[in-house]
Amino acid sequence: MARIPSGGRAVKSAAKHAAVVKGRRPQAALRRSAETQAGSQAGSQAAALASLQAAAPARRPGRPSGAARGPDQRNRLLDAALVLFARQGIVDTTLGEIAREAGFTPAMMHYYFKTRDQLLDVLIDERFAPLRAGLGVPFQENPDDPVAAITQLTQRLVQVATDHPWFPSLWVREVISDGGLLRQRMHERFGDAHQKASLSAIARWQKEGRLNAGLEPALVFVTLLGLTILPLATSKLWCNDPMRRNIGGEQIARHAVALLVQGIGPKKAD
């Protein structure tokens, strides 16, 4: 016959269960309170962030922000444009290609330069005009010494090409070649007063007996470019040529000056 639990034992069991339940309720209440506070804090932070974003002025499309803004980025775009113009020509280069070469998006390119014409005008003002002015200095500093003027001009041309590797190829492609867009734009901007002054100085030196009278003034500068810029523009092709791979700007300048000043005959004794 099965035994029936006594009433005292049942009462003790029920009291124990009630105590366990009672102990769990405060813990659950604490957890719910903590979760409520955390949710309230997160909501406050989200509301504050939304308020700041709403108060901030809207940024124009393509406008660089933070570290992406400033003259360094603009200069990188100008440098990339010169590299591509020298490599493939101005007409065949798009603004998008320039942006990719510089590591930027087309939107940032458009923020600084809306059109290729605008970009070219900036390049003429900020990059070519200073170089052009520097090349005229030897004639200004040596008004009575044509040998010194031509020697310094030769050295300056080589130095410019050394400091700006894009210069020789770009000059050949866009200035001395037929249909060069850069030559047209620079002529529109500066005219030919600089060229006329150089030709006048050469003609005066010839008349004074300081320069070979058999020279054609209009060909002196062209000849000088041929002796400097053309070798510099093709020097990259000499890497595997054992006869010319060690020829650099210094050797090119010395060769050009020697050929212009002394000709191809042996040097005359003093």
Q: For the structural domain made of 131-262, what CATH number should be given?
A: 1.10.357.10
Separation CA 116–CA 8 (nearest Å): 99
Position 90 scores a pLDDT of: 95
Residues 96, 124 contacting (CB under 8 angstroms): no
Lowest mean pLDDT among 43-47, 89-93, 226-230: 43-47
The predicted-structure confidence for 118-155, as pLDDT tens digits, reads as follows 999 999 999 999 998 998 899 999 999 999 999 999 99
> Is the predicted pLDDT of residue 38 greater than 80, yes or no?
no
> Is the predicted pLDDT of residue 21 greater than 80, yes or no?
no
Lowest mean pLDDT among 3-12, 74-83, 127-136, 170-179: 3-12
Separation CA 37–CA 257 (nearest Å): 85
Position 54 scores a pLDDT of: 47
Q: Provide mean pLDDT across the span 27-38.
A: 52
Residue 17 confidence class, pLDDT cut points 50, 70, 90: very low
Domain spans in the chain, listed from the N-terminal domain onward: 71-114, 131-262
Percent of the chain exceeding pLDDT 70 equals: 73
Position 92 scores a pLDDT of: 94
Lowest mean pLDDT among 96-100, 121-125, 176-180: 176-180
The predicted-structure confidence for 183-200, as pLDDT tens digits, reads as follows 999 999 988 888 888 899
On the CB side of 176, how many CA atoms lie within 13 Å of its CA?
16
Position 91 scores a pLDDT of: 93
CATH architecture of 71-114: Orthogonal Bundle (1.10)
Question: Helices 217-234 and 146-163, interaxial angle, to 10°?
Answer: 30
